Structure 1
Amino acid sequence: MSPRHALLAVLVMLVWGGNFVVIDAGLADVPPLAFLALRFALVALPWVFVVPPPRVGWRPVVAVGAFMSLGQFSFLYVALELGMPAGLASLVLQAQVIITIVLAAAVLRERPTRAQAVGATVGTVGLVVVMVAHGASSPLLPAVVMLGASTCWAIGNVVARAAGVASGLSMVVWSALVVPVPAFLLSVLVDGWSPTVDGLTQLSGTAWLSTAYTAFGASLLGYTIWNSLLARYPASAVVPFVLLVPVVGIVAAWLVQGEVPSPLELAGGAVMMVGVALATVRLGRRPRAGVTRDPAPACAGASPRA
């Protein structure tokens, strides 16, 4: 990968890693599911009128929207609202790599490589350590809800893989249409009509900035760059950059919110990321730019978004 493209990949990781702190800040004024509805309304509109739909039929688009977008981010936003530390959330979300490998083996009969099997095992051990360490000092429910986000993302990966598509910009835009109405209705059901409507009609400057960052920065700009890199280089050369997301997320939470994970949480996180690295980083000579892209990015966490 050229230095310029490597810097672009790092830029995307910085945007995605900082996304957790930005979302957490915006949730101070808006119910989480209402905030989610607003974000994806801006991801979808007016872009569906200029971005062509993905050529896979409507069922994969709806399924990806239901799991990767609505499911994943509903759990993520609710977990942050319940008190999940933003930095730790960026780490636990990467459990999707491990869950994707397991689901792909069970559902798609894709036999994991030895490195993926070892990585999934090591990553699971690290995740258990993180969960136990977090539960010893804080309520465990937010961390369990975060695992729901990881699971939904993993299911979305398997759906995208089965359909034979990557989560490109067109898929991001069109699948976003699935989110706003169900998220709004769920917000009304959970939080009530008045808090939902008041939250959306009385947005603070912080909430607007957070929405702009997540919709235009993390989703649209981030994926425009990310998918252009995946189109140019093998997934094995691009996807490992996702290992930077939890590092950026933890550092951003420390600098902005003063969040300091416990030593045991950090140790478990380090073990977990070693497992993720084993499952995603392929050693040896990489193909030259322009060689056909690895057709199985889903098992490597093809969509490391937040």
Structure 2
Amino acid sequence: MNLKSISLALIVVLIWGVNFSVIKFGLEELPPILFSSLRFFIVAIPAVFFIPFPKTSVWNVLGVGLFLGVLKFSFLFIAMKADASAGISSLLLQAQVIFTIILSMIIFKEKVSNAQLLGMIIALYGFGFFFFTVDTNITLLGIVLILSAAIFWSVSNVIMKQIKDVNLLHFMVWVSLIPPLPLFILSYIFETHEPLTLLLNSSIKTWISVAYTGYISTLVAFAIWGWLLKNYNSAIVTPFALVIPVIGIISSNILLNEKLNQVEVMGTILILFGLFISVLGNRIYTLVFKTKKRRE
């Protein structure tokens, strides 16, 4: 990758890392399901009137819209409303890496390498630390909700894994058309019967939060990420995502004054190390082995 592409990749992970703290600002005034509905609504409308339907099955759009838009973000936002800090949410959500590997094994019969297996075990051990530190930065309910969100995200990853040669920006715009209506209905039933009143009385900070999560985190970031994946091998691009929880934890400390206790720090280190081994372990081993072989 050249310097320009590396800079773009870092911009994306910065956007997605800070996004968790920005979401917290929006959830101060808006209930989580309504917030999620509004976030996807502004992405889809009016963009769907100008962007063609992606060259894929409508079922793929509906599937990702359901699992990613309706389920994953609803569970994540509900957890972040009162049961999980922004920093820990950004970290635990990366369990989707492990769940995606497991689903790929089951559905696509993919083999798990020794590095992936070792990384998964280390990361799972790290996740276990958070069950011993509940009611500080996260509750037990928050852990369950975020890990559920990670499972739903991994299902959408599997659906997208089958899609070939599709414009990711076009795909995400049409995916964003699916969640608003069911989310709005759920919000009306379970959260508030006066959504318009809430929206009209929301502060500028809340609207900035909605705009950031919608336009910046979804449209801009996914457009750049899609361009990177189109021009470079995914094995080169995807490791940058490992930086997201690091930025999420740092930004939540700066913007929200969130701090991790010692047990959470140990769990964080183990999870990040496990994810690092899962994603990059094979490549590092191959690189070291080839270098050693050349010297011999």
TM-score by length of 2: 0.91
The separation in 2 between residues aligned to 1:215 and 1:131, in whole angstroms, is 32
Letter in 2 for 1:271: L
Equivalent pair of 1:108/1:162 in contact (CA under 8 Å): no
Give 2:206's aligned residue: 207
Shift of 1:221: 0.6
Q: Secondary structure of the equivalent of 2:273?
A: helix
Q: Percent identity?
A: 34
The 5-angstrom pairing of residues 81-160 of structure 1 reads 81-134=81-134, 139-160=139-160
Shift of 1:130: 2.5
Question: Which ranges of 4 or more aligned residues in structure 1 deviate by more than 6 Å?
Answer: none
The 5-angstrom pairing of residues 130-279 of structure 1 reads 130-134=130-134, 139-164=139-164, 168-194=168-194, 196-279=195-278
1:260 and 1:136, CA in 2 relative to 1: closer, same or farther beyond 3 A?
Answer: closer
Greater displacement, 128-137 / 70-79: 128-137
1:159 and 1:138, CA in 2 relative to 1: closer, same or farther beyond 3 A?
Answer: closer
Give 1:293's aligned residue: none
Equivalent pair of 2:88/2:137 in contact (CA under 8 Å): no
Shift of 1:136: 7.2
The separation in 2 between residues aligned to 1:67 and 1:167, in whole angstroms, is 20
Q: Secondary structure of the equivalent of 1:52?
A: coil
Letter in 2 for 1:245: I
Equivalent pair of 2:125/2:270 in contact (CA under 8 Å): yes
Shift of 1:122: 1.6
TM-score by length of 1: 0.88
The separation in 2 between residues aligned to 1:98 and 1:115, in whole angstroms, is 12
Shift of 1:140: 1.2
Letter in 1 for 2:128: V
Letter in 1 for 2:126: G
1:45 and 1:8, CA in 2 relative to 1: closer, same or farther beyond 3 A?
Answer: same
Equivalent pair of 2:73/2:149 in contact (CA under 8 Å): yes
Equivalent pair of 1:17/1:245 in contact (CA under 8 Å): yes
The separation in 1 between residues aligned to 2:154 and 2:137, in whole angstroms, is 28
Letter in 1 for 2:2: S
Equivalent pair of 1:43/1:173 in contact (CA under 8 Å): yes
User: Please, what is the CA RMSD of the aligned residues?
Assistant: 1.7
Report Cα offsets for 1:136-155 as digits up to 9, x if no partner. Answer: 77531112111111111011
Give 1:61's aligned residue: 61
Letter in 1 for 2:235: S
Equivalent pair of 2:55/2:166 in contact (CA under 8 Å): no
The separation in 2 between residues aligned to 1:214 and 1:172, in whole angstroms, is 13
The separation in 1 between residues aligned to 2:139 and 2:223, in whole angstroms, is 37
Letter in 2 for 1:47: A
Equivalent pair of 1:35/1:200 in contact (CA under 8 Å): no
Unaligned runs of 5+ in 1: 286-306
Report Cα offsets for 1:169-212 as digits up to 9, x if no partner. Answer: 11111111111001101111211312x33222322101110011
Equivalent pair of 2:38/2:180 in contact (CA under 8 Å): yes
The separation in 2 between residues aligned to 1:179 and 1:208, in whole angstroms, is 19
The separation in 1 between residues aligned to 2:241 and 2:174, in whole angstroms, is 24
The separation in 2 between residues aligned to 1:229 and 1:129, in whole angstroms, is 35
The separation in 1 between residues aligned to 2:238 and 2:59, in whole angstroms, is 26
Letter in 1 for 2:253: W
Equivalent pair of 1:39/1:211 in contact (CA under 8 Å): yes
Shift of 1:72: 1.0
The separation in 1 between residues aligned to 2:138 and 2:229, in whole angstroms, is 39
The separation in 2 between residues aligned to 1:200 and 1:221, in whole angstroms, is 24
Equivalent pair of 2:85/2:138 in contact (CA under 8 Å): no
Letter in 2 for 1:28: E
The 5-angstrom pairing of residues 71-86 of structure 1 reads 71-86=71-86
Unaligned runs of 5+ in 2: 288-296
1:37 and 1:261, CA in 2 relative to 1: closer, same or farther beyond 3 A?
Answer: same
Shift of 1:133: 2.6
Q: Greater share of helix residues, 1 or 2?
A: 2
Equivalent pair of 2:83/2:141 in contact (CA under 8 Å): no
Q: Secondary structure of the equivalent of 2:125?
A: helix
Shift of 1:132: 2.7
